[in-house]
Amino acid sequence: MNTIAKGALLVVAGVAALVTVLIAALISGTDGDTADDQGGLRGVPPEYERWIRQAVAECRYPELTEALMAAQIQQESGFRAGAGSHAGAQGPAQFVPGTWATWGQDADGNGRSDPHDIGDAVIAQGRLMCSLIGQAKKSRYRDDPRRLALAGYNAGWGAVQRFGGVPPVTFAGGETFHYVRIIMASMKRFQAAGPAGALAVRGSGRGPDALRRAARYIGTPYSYGGGTPDGPGTGFCDGANGYTGGRCAARSTVGFDCSSLVQYGYWPDVQLPRTAAAQYNATSDRPVTRSGLKPGDLVFWADRTGFIYHVGLYAGENRVLHAPRTGRDVTVEPLDTAMPATDYHGATRP
């Protein structure tokens, strides 16, 4: 968060040359400012990893990713918890007292709300960025919501509104313009390959956004009855499901079942019911042919009686993202072999 948002606008002599050096140092080896990170996290101090992941999981918008959070912390403080500035900004996410009063809280449970505490700072950063991404998406400005949110974090949302987008290089010596560009370009250095079967989702809208959000949990265990719109959770056994080797594995497994993963992906934009059968009933008036499938469409399987027993999210290229069964993890598989081909029942679009 720069000196503009803190109310102390400073124009430093030679700033253009300095910014040029910073950009060269920070984005060398990257592919410009259009990173689309879908993988895991790398190159982050271990004490930050947990909090970055938690902040991302709490945000309803898939545009807030771990790599974006990490690149922003790098730009703000270089991951220095004790960082400060002449304008009064404090901690790894560089909050000033006025902004901290709104977004800061005791996220790490140590009895104090402190912008120098890594957990408190990163969770506050994530919540502010999530709010700004929401404003950006509602604004309909013709730019990437991530770029708009970064500009709002740096210069205040009022500056974004003033220019109808990211402020130009002529604004404040180019500080905000280059802040956004550096972070967007440096995300890739923090992006790990992700788990096997990781999914790169293109496009925007309800379907791709739901697919992107659910794809965060590729590799998460299946848990019968587990998972909520807020994320993974422990499940239960019902006499037939949730068991491994005669033991109720679901009771101690934090994860999703097939329908809770789908529900999580679409929540809260579309508040789907909890079970696969109920999700089919709620959306069956909007059927989709096999040839017309688009990312995020719901695909269903049924037994011989017509009972819908499984649901997944169409992932493009004849694939499905789903939570298969007890003992398996959330994964991406060919649509034809994810479940018995003869059980394929159809698809709908929420």
| Catalytic site positions | 76
Relative to beta strand 298-302, strand 344-348 is: antiparallel
Spell out the alpha helix ranges (H) of the chain.
15-27, 46-58, 66-77, 97-103, 118-139, 145-155, 157-163, 175-186, 206-215, 258-266, 276-283
| φ and ψ of 6, to 5 deg | -90, 0
If you count them, how many residues does the chain have? 350
Q: Is the Cα dihedral 10, 15, 20, 24 positive or negative? A: negative
- With a CB cutoff of 8 Å and minimum separation 6, the contacts of 231 are 57, 217, 264
